[in-house]
């Protein structure tokens, strides 16, 4: 039960911190959400800087150009990235955390050669084509059809919640290659170039009114068979490989960053006056902040425990579901706290009277996606109930 970072970890921290101290301010503020071209340039530009400095693919094998950092160095990396408020992974998310790791584990030599170095350098952006209107939590019931036509698949269907579709070069696409097999046994995993004919992108504004994701309509899109990752109809297994990476440390920086967000709330509470006192003088509010801070400390300790376990076993454990439930719940409570602190200022999404309305309201709304995306909280509870506690399984 040792929480002390090694001297090597601390040396790594000092180097990274020094680099971030210069690189982060130099990169500038993120562009507006609606400007996809500028967002791509901003996010991939940061990825390139990480690459040049030797920090890209912190957990990727060195054979593929990654840093291959130890798990404790990765923890240091997530802490420092959050501390320096470095640019968010943004449009690089799917390539760096889904597509890239999946190709490393399952791709052919050619697929790896074509994509891995470009993803790592920020030259290639990926989007995710998994969910469909009829296949959300029950992802394996997806209906997008892929029929063999010589050395191509003819793909038709309808994907949804596709982040970064507007600016992506490739899509990790799940298709049904055998409609007669049981639903888990007829799926294949394809790399679809986004410039092919027959792809239509319709933005689907979020409740924030912003174009985070889109619906993607596919009509007889010709995807080369050589773009398939894994065997035909073995895509469900490949999908679980993909999602395993997401369950690891993908959100670790965001978890650590929450501590800074909460510290910001304390500052805000000391500035806001209610009657003749500041909001901070309200004991109930202080206890609420203390409660959230305790939860965040517990969360980071859970991450450290999970990382320690992964270091020995090599695979992120099922405990990741508990971490996600814990994290998403606390984040939403922090979001709500911000709304209550703003009071009537929360009627404005623009900053008013020197209060950070835009940021605070943005977080409160954005946090609502955390209990839905990447496996809803209900699905996480099923996973814990069935796979950890051994309770009877839901119908599948």
Partner 1 sequence: MDFRLSEDQEALRDGVRSFCEGRVPVEMLRELEQKPGLDRALWSELAEMGVFGLRLSEDDGGVGLGMADAAVVFAELGRRLVPGPLAWSHLAAGLVEGAAQGSAVVGGLDLLGVLGGPHLVEHLESLDALLVLRPEGVFRIDPAHLEARTVAVPLDPLTPVHHVTRLPEGELVGTVEEARRLRLEGGALASAMLLGIAEATQELATEYAKGREQFGRPIGGFQSVKHMLADMFVRQEGAGAAVYAAGATLDDPGVGDVMRAVSAAKATAGEGALRNALACIQVHGGMGYTWEVPAHYYLKRSWVLENVFGTVGEHEERIAEILAAST
Instruction: Compute the half-sphere exposure of residue 81: CA atoms within 13 Å on the CB side of its CA.
Output: 22
**In the complex, least distance from residue 88 CB atom to partner 1, rounded to whole angstroms:** 23
Number of CB atoms found within 10 A of residue 85's CB: 12
List interacting residues with partner 1 (CB under 8 A).
Answer: 1-6, 9, 72, 75, 262-263, 266-267, 270, 280, 283, 286-291, 293-295, 297-299, 301-302, 304-305, 307-309, 311-312, 319, 322-323, 325-326, 378, 380-382, 384-386, 388-394
Q: CA gyration radius for the chain?
A: 22
Report d(CA 41, CA 123) in Å as an integer.
10
CA nearest to 201, candidates 191, 211, 210, 190? 211
The distance of closest approach from Cβ of residue 394 to partner 1 in the complex, given in angstroms and rounded to an integer, is: 7
Dihedral sign, Cα of residue 219, residue 375, residue 181, residue 150: positive
Nearer to partner 1 (CB atom), residue 166 or residue 380: 380
Q: Are 212 and 167 in contact (CB under 8 A)?
A: no
| Residue 33, CB-side half-sphere exposure with 13 Å CA sphere | 13
246 is catalytic: yes
Given 79, 124, 246, 288, which residue is catalytic? 246
In order, the DSSP letters of 167-196 are G-SEEEEEEES-TTS-GGGSEEEEEEETTS
Nearest approach, Cβ of residue 5 and partner 1 (Å): 6
> Cβ closer to partner 1: 79 or 169?
79
Would you give the DSSP letter of residue 387?
I
Q: Measured from the CB atom, is 5 or 217 closer to partner 1?
A: 5
If the CB atoms of residues 207 and 263 are measured against partner 1, the closer one turns out to be 263
Residue closer to partner 1, measured from CB, 53 or 315: 315
Cα–Cα dist 294/289, whole Å:
9
Q: How far is the CB of 355 from partner 1 (least distance, A)?
A: 17
Least Cβ distance, residue 363 to partner 1 (angstroms): 18
Please give the positions annotated as active site.
246
């Amino acid at each position: 039960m040792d929480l002390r970072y090694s001297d090597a970890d601390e040396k790594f921290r000092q180097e990274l911190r020094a680099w971030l101290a210069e690189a982060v301010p130099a990169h500038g503020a993120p562009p507006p959400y609606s400007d996809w071209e500028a967002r791509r340039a901003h996010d991939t530009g940061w990825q390139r800087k990480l690459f040049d400095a030797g920090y890209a693919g912190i957990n990727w094998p060195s054979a593929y150009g990654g840093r291959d950092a130890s798990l404790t160095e990765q923890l240091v990396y997530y802490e420092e990235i959050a501390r320096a408020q470095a640019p968010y992974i943004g449009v690089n998310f799917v390539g760096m955390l889904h597509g890239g790791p999946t190709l490393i584990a399952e791709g052919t030599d050619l697929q790896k050669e074509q994509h891995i170095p470009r993803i790592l350098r920020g030259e290639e952006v990926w989007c995710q084509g998994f969910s469909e209107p009829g296949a959300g939590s029950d992802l394996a019931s997806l209906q997008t059809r892929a029929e063999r036509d010589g050395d191509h698949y003819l793909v038709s269907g309808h994907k949804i919640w596709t982040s970064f579709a507007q600016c992506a070069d490739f899509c990790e696409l799940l298709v049904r290659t055998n409609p007669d097999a049981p639903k888990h046994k007829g799926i294949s995993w394809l790399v679809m170039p986004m410039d092919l004919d027959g792809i239509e992108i319709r933005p689907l504004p979020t409740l924030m009114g912003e174009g985070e994701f889109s619906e993607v309509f596919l009509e007889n899109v010709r995807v080369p068979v050589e773009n398939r990752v894994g065997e035909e109809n073995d895509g469900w297994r490949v999908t679980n490989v993909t999602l395993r990476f997401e369950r690891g440390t993908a959100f670790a920086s965001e978890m650590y960053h929450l501590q800074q967000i909460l510290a910001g709330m304390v500052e805000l509470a000391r500035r806001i006056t209610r009657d003749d006192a500041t909001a901070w003088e309200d004991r109930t509010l202080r206890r609420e902040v203390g409660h959230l801070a305790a939860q965040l400390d517990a969360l980071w300790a859970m991450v450290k425990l999970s990382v320690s376990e992964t270091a020995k076993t090599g695979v992120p454990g099922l405990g990741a579901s508990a971490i996600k439930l814990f994290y998403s719940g606390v984040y939403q409570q922090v979001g709500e706290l911000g709304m209550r602190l703003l009071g009537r200022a929360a009627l404005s999404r623009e900053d008013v009277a020197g209060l950070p309305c835009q940021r605070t309201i943005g977080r409160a709304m954005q946090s609502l996606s955390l209990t839905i995306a990447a496996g809803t909280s209900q699905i996480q509870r099923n996973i814990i109930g069935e796979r950890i506690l051994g309770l009877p399984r839901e119908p599948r």
